Amino acid sequence: MGDRSSKQGLLAEFATVGKALGHPARLELVDLLSQGSRSVEHLAAEAALAMSTCSTHLQLLREAGLVQAHREGKRVYYSLTGDDVATLWDQLRTVAEAHRPQTGHAARVYLGPADTEVIGTDELRDRLERGDALVLDVRPEAEYAAGHLPGALHIPLGDLADRLGELPADQEIIAYCRGRYCVLAHDAVRLLTASGHDARRTSDGVLEWRLAGLPLVTDAA
C-alpha cells in the first residue's frame, strides 16, 4: 500500500500537466498544434510570440509530455504527442464553458456579435454528400495542407478580399476554420455577406471533426 509521499509523487505528475497548460500562450500553441505539425517559426508567427518566447513555452509543453519535436533540415517541427492531448484541450474548454460564466462573455468579445449564420456538422455532412454548397477553408496554408474537408476550396482569410471574384455568386458558401473558438470563419462570413454572397459558417471546425473521426484529407493524400 502506498504511503503519503508516494501519493504526492503521483499527484505531482498530474500537476505537471496542469501547470504546463496553465498559461494562455501555451494553450494557444496546443490549439495550433491540434491542426497538425508546425515549425517553431510558424507557431511564433501565428501566436504573435518572439521566437525565444515561443521556444520556451514549447519546451515546457515538451517536458510535460504534451508535445514532441523533430528536425527537418534547419527547422524544428512540433506536434502533439497524441489525439488525447487534443481531447484534453477540448475538454478543458468544455469545462470552462460549463462552470465559468465569464467564458461566454470572453468568447463574445473575441468572436464578435452573433451576426453570422451557422450550420451544424450533421447538416454540413448532408450538404457535402449532395454537393450543393461550396465549402471554404480559410485557415493558413500549412493547416489546410495538414488536413481539410474533402473537396474544400482553400482561400486564407487574409487573401479572401482580393479573391472574391473566384467565388460563384449563385451558390451558398460555407466557411470553416480551426474550431468553435476560431474567429477566422466568423470574419470570412462577415466579408462574404457584405460582398453579396450567401454564406454561413460551421459551428465546429477541424479540431472537433478530427476528434469525432470525420474524414479529413491532406495535400500528400
Please report, for the domain that includes residue 153, its CATH number. 3.40.250.10
Domain boundary among 86, 105, 130: 86
Catalytic residues: 177
- 32 by DSSP, 3-state: which? helix
User: What pLDDT sits at residue 133?
Assistant: 85
Please report, for the domain that includes residue 60, its CATH number. 1.10.10.10
Give the span between the Cα atoms of 153 and 98, in whole angstroms: 34
From 182, 208, 57, 48, select the one nearest 121 (Cα to Cα).
208
User: What pLDDT sits at residue 220?
Assistant: 57
Indicate whether 120 and 169 sit together in one domain. Answer: yes
Indicate whether 118 and 58 sit together in one domain. Answer: no
From 82, 108, 102, 89, select the one nearest 29 (Cα to Cα).
89
Indicate whether 148 and 68 sit together in one domain. Answer: no
Q: Is residue 187 part of a domain?
A: yes
Q: Is residue 220 part of a domain?
A: no
Give the span between the Cα atoms of 212 and 209, in whole angstroms: 5
Let me know: does 49 contact 57? Beta carbons within 8 Å: yes
Residue 152 neighbours by CB under 8 Å, 6+ apart = 135, 136, 137, 144, 176
Indicate whether 152 and 197 sit together in one domain. Answer: yes
Residues in the chain predicted with pLDDT less than 50, given as ranges, are 221
Indicate whether 145 and 208 sit together in one domain. Answer: yes
Indicate whether 133 and 192 sit together in one domain. Answer: yes
Q: Is residue 100 part of a domain?
A: no
Q: Is residue 169 part of a domain?
A: yes
| Angle 65-221-179 from CA coordinates, rounded to 5° | 55
Which structural domain, as residue segments, surrounds residue 197?
Answer: 113-212
State how many domains the chain has: 2
What radius of gyration do the chain's Cα atoms show?
19
Using one digit for the tens of pLDDT, what is the confidence trace for 181-213? 999 999 999 999 999 999 999 999 999 999 999
Q: What would the grid cell of residue 103 be?
A: 467564458
Give the span between the Cα atoms of 111 and 12, in whole angstroms: 36
